[in-house]
Structure 1
């Protein structure tokens, strides 16, 4: 969270010592944060409030622009309904990435592979940024993605469904010919640096708009929720779904389960 806010400040030529309330407001309008719900915004405000209080105490800042915002903010009374692709939209996106895998344009193929991986595995945007070429095993039986441990999330293995294999296999074949430095599966071309959160957001947004799906949030989070809900619809136990998604609690799965008609 802090890293994302810091990148926002750097992009607007501000520092931790100089940003103000207007910079926090503009942060909510950024492409990769505009879809954040009330609870996520409150977590950001609490983080910024604590940080600014510390900087004021250390003599680095003279004021705390997050203080009044944090006091005025309120935690939501109930969890919002998670956004996901309905079953027919999920199928359309699967067909879209399978067909797009045949394109020759390298950036378009990379974007297609990113969407395929997110939709097929339910990994987070951060996990997608960190994914390495050696983690993807399309030739295995069954094919799978190894997701290394990250924070409180343990390492896990996620099986790859058939719809994602054309795009991922083709990207695996093309990537070695592009002279990209480093071990990352997806990177900013030759530099080998991770793709940015904004880039991932734009890639997912473009794919969703291409299948004519529109919602207030078109971020990778929608694909993660769609993955979890798809497993629940298939009858996979909630505990197993949480494990495959790297969740430390069942709360997200419980919220997704409430979107499914018991009949």
Structure 2
């Protein structure tokens, strides 16, 4: 792809052409200006931008407006009225793409003299900016061990207590999603390996991976598996079963985790929630705090993109806690 110098660019169309024939002026302008990397737009991008521009010009014609006088409130009206192909309201990201394109056009129109009132998009960017990314909910610094101690504080007496102990320490000791814990099957546990791990099958956007099992989670898990082997489960493959012998309900898992996180005796200070995701996030934070390579933690977490893992690094305040290996 040929990189262009600004001096080599073709002459941009006049203000008169923009007002008389905005479709032709826009396409000519799109084909002659470089994008942020200094290259001309690809043909596919030009066609897409032209379709977006035609949509905007149709709005202007329908409301008796023109490029030289339209104000911010009318641009916002256009953005808020955008719809997807299925007739539903457009995604916020779609509105931001339109706003970015229109902002560039109106900057150019202001420079060419087609507008005298400035860029109507300038005041709208703060209104359509993406919401700030929420920080992952985690246990407060150095509270992983407190959670594990609270879960294992009392020797289990019933099969449910054996199950609940193993299940909760496994989440904070392996970083599984709640759905992965509920769907976990016996043949996914590789306990005779060094170190032990869970073979997690791909699901949705989460890739196949091996999730390590922390040493503190192994003994409760083996105790539960030994008891589970004595239950009349009729070939059920789920590791953590319900009272009816099938898979647990998500609500049961959430209720068990919340009971510990909210208990006064545990004296925990979870940030950002009280569900199993807090335990998974705490596992990931702990690994990064122990200077595990980010790409390794990304693989353990099942993150498709590295930026998902890097979110946790920003929150590190030396959490300490128990090791994964």
- Give the TM-score category using the shorter length: 0.5 to 0.7
Question: Which residue number in structure 2 is paired with residue 135 of structure 1?
Answer: 188
Correspondence for 2:25? none
Check if 1:161 corresponds to 2:214: yes
Q: CA deviation at 1:187?
A: 2.0
Determine the C-alpha separation between the residues in 2 that align with 1:86 and 1:214.
6
- Partner Cα distance (1:132, 1:114) in 2: 13
Matches within 5 A, 1:32-47: none
Structure index of larger Rg? 2
1:77 alignment counterpart: 131
Partner SS, residue 134 of structure 2: coil
Which has the larger helix fraction?
1
> Stretches of 4+ moved more than 6 A in 1?
none
Deviations along 1:16-55, whole A, 9 cap, x unmatched? xxxxxxxxxxxxxxxxxxxxxxxxxxxxxxxxx99xx97x
Secondary structure at 2:222 match in 1: helix
Give the superposed CA RMSD.
Answer: 2.9
Q: CA deviation at 1:209?
A: 2.4
Q: Say whether 1:114 aligns with 2:167.
A: yes
Aligned-residue offset at 1:233: 0.3
Match of 1:96 among 144, 150, 153: 150
Greater RCO structure (CA 8 Å; 6+ sep): 1
1:213 equivalent in structure 2: 268
Alignment match of 1:242 (pick from 298, 304, 316):
298
Matched, 1:222 2:275: no
Q: TM-score, normalised by structure 1?
A: 0.67
Name the structure 1 match of 2:233. Answer: 180
Out of 219, 224, 229, the position equivalent to 1:171 is: 224
Q: Which residue of 1 aligns with 2:198?
A: 145
The alignment of Structure 1 onto Structure 2 pairs a total of residues equal to 199
Q: Structure 1: where are the runs of 5+ without partners?
A: 1-48, 58-63
Matched, 1:189 2:243: yes
2:179 maps to what in 1?
Answer: 126
SS in 1 for 2:142: helix
**Runs of 5+ consecutive residues of structure 2 not aligned to the other structure:** 1-82, 93-127, 319-325
Tell me, in whole angstroms, the C-alpha distance in 1 between the residues paired with 2:238 and 2:148: 24
Q: TM-score by structure 2 length?
A: 0.55
Pair 1:95–1:245, CA change in 2 (3 A): same
Matched, 1:200 2:253: yes
